[in-house]
């Protein structure tokens, strides 16, 4: 449903273009069509193209998710490919309807995932959504800085640059902190997203080429399973992690000069991601079977190509972190009223820097204390992403826009997504917690 259709349903008049259209061309087209004013949550001059938004989506969603998908297939068997494509369909649908919810009243735009939840279910709904969003947007940066620290520690072992894992993790957090603290909006970190996408593609191609070469040089003789039913929920949660961009989408869309192009952006972005996932998951599981590691490049034999893959994916996570952390910071700053509307420019700047420094310190401390990549990823996917992707957006959408105006096939599609999310949430969380207990126990 377009903005024009929303306004038509609500009975709002769409004004004709005025003679001052050239003066208004830098304003949001959505503002213009609705005949009202609202805040996107970013400065007007910080809005960018749909091209930048596309790279933000791909950079946030793809990356480490691709590198653990062969392991997800090892957990659940080849049926994981069906889960992968279902997750693609459901996450695309939820990404579309989540943004529709921002404009549900036809008069103004909500600014965050939490505000959508609050509009649908009041203050309690808003805080519940914020809780799950905070888990994702704190947990994923923890995972990323943890992986970056582990990778650089591994690369530098036996060299003059050898340092402990903890020190490298702190260094990585400091490197990320510069763009995160001083770049105010997602448009400003759009350039880092472009390079983040390129690093993901290069890493996937290296892994693919090296797996084919490894199979030709060694008799790998891998074992595969069509389906492992008792591991189905944990495989679902691992794959759900690979589509976890919903909390960021309202801020990505807010940074677009033409937000009407959002549907194209989300479809193109997630389609690109699933293509990357497919050419990583299938060869990785095919060549290494149940013995495949997470991340998949740890299954490759020692070589310069493996070293390059580790370095490049480390660059990716360091480039993706500012996008994720900026999104959460924007929510926090809105909640704490840290803006030039409430403070002078210098006070706003100092408060914003303080909040972001505290955030990155918390992320770094937890990453140093809990170095467990695979199980943390599964737990995040099960507990937060299954909820934020498959359950909440669809429930919010039906609550805000009604059931009776939806075709039966759309209601059935939404119901299936919710059921899948509940299965992943309950059983995937249980399996991931058991894995963490076993790992810390050992």
Write out the two tokens for 259.
């937000």
**For residues 15 and 33, what is the distance between their CA atoms, to the nearest angstrom?**
7
Q: What domains are defined for the chain? A: 1-37 (no CATH), 43-441 (1.20.1740.10)
Lowest model confidence (mean pLDDT) among 24-38, 43-57, 112-126, 342-356: 24-38
**For residues 97 and 294, what is the distance between their CA atoms, to the nearest angstrom?**
32
Write out the two tokens for 188.
């400003």
Phi and psi dihedrals of 183, rounded to 5?
A: -90, 120
CB 241 within 8 A of CB 373: no
**For residues 169 and 49, what is the distance between their CA atoms, to the nearest angstrom?**
33
CB 388 within 8 A of CB 132: yes
Q: Is the torsion defined by CA of 418, 421, 427, 430 positive or negative? A: negative
**What residues have CB less than 8 Å from 135, skipping those under 6 apart?**
380, 383, 384
Query: What is the per-residue pLDDT across 420-436, written as a single tens digit (0 to 9) for each?
Result: 888 878 877 777 777 66
Q: What's the confidence (pLDDT) of residue 20?
A: 40
Query: What is the per-residue pLDDT across 157-209, written as a single tens digit (0 to 9) for each?
Result: 888 878 888 899 999 988 888 777 766 665 555 566 677 778 888 888 888 88
Query: Which residues face 256 on adjacent strands?
Result: 48
pLDDT over 50 (residue 300): yes
């Amino acid at each position: 449903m377009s903005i024009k259709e929303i306004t038509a349903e609500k009975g709002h008049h769409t004004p004709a273009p005025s003679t001052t259209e050239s003066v208004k061309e830098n304003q949001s087209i959505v503002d213009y069509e609705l005949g009202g004013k609202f805040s996107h949550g970013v400065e007007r001059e910080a809005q960018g193209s749909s091209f930048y938004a596309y790279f933000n989506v791909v950079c946030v969603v793809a990356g480490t998710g691709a590198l653990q998908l062969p392991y997800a297939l090892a957990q659940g068997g080849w049926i994981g490919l069906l889960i992968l494509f279902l997750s693609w369909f459901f996450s695309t649908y939820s990404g579309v309807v989540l943004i529709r919810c921002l404009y549900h009243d036809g008069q103004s735009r909500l600014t965050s995932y939490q505000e959508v939840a609050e509009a649908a279910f009041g203050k309690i709904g808003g805080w519940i959504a914020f809780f799950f969003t905070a888990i994702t947007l704190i947990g994923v940066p923890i995972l990323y800085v943890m992986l970056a620290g582990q990778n650089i520690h591994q690369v530098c072992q036996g060299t003059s640059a050898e340092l402990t894992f903890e020190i490298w993790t702190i260094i990585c957090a400091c490197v990320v902190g510069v763009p995160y603290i001083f770049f105010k909006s997602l448009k400003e970190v759009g350039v880092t997203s472009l390079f983040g996408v390129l690093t993901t593609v290069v890493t996937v191609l290296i892994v693919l080429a090296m797996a084919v070469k490894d199979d030709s040089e060694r008799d790998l003789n891998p074992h595969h399973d069509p389906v492992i039913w008792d591991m189905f929920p944990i495989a679902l949660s691992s794959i759900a992690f690979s589509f976890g961009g919903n909390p960021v989408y309202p801020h990505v869309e807010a940074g677009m000069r033409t937000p009407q192009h959002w549907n194209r952006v989300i479809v193109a972005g997630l389609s690109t991601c699933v293509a990357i996932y497919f050419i990583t998951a299938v060869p990785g599981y095919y060549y290494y079977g149940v013995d495949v590691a997470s991340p998949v490049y740890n299954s490759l034999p020692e070589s310069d190509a493996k070293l390059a893959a580790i370095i490049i994916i480390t660059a990716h996570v360091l480039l993706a972190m500012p996008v994720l952390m900026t999104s959460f910071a924007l929510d926090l700053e809105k909640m704490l009223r840290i803006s030039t509307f409430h403070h002078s420019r210098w006070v706003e700047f100092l408060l914003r820097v303080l909040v972001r420094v505290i955030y990155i310190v918390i992320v770094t401390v937890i990453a140093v204390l809990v170095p467990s990549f695979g199980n943390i990823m599964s737990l995040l996917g099960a507990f937060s992403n299954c909820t934020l992707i498959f359950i909440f957006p669809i429930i919010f959408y039906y609550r805000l826009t009604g059931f009776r105006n939806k075709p039966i096939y759309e209601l059935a599609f939404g119901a299936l997504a919710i059921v899948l999310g509940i299965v992943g949430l309950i059983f995937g969380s249980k399996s991931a917690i058991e894995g963490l207990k076993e790992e810390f126990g050992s």
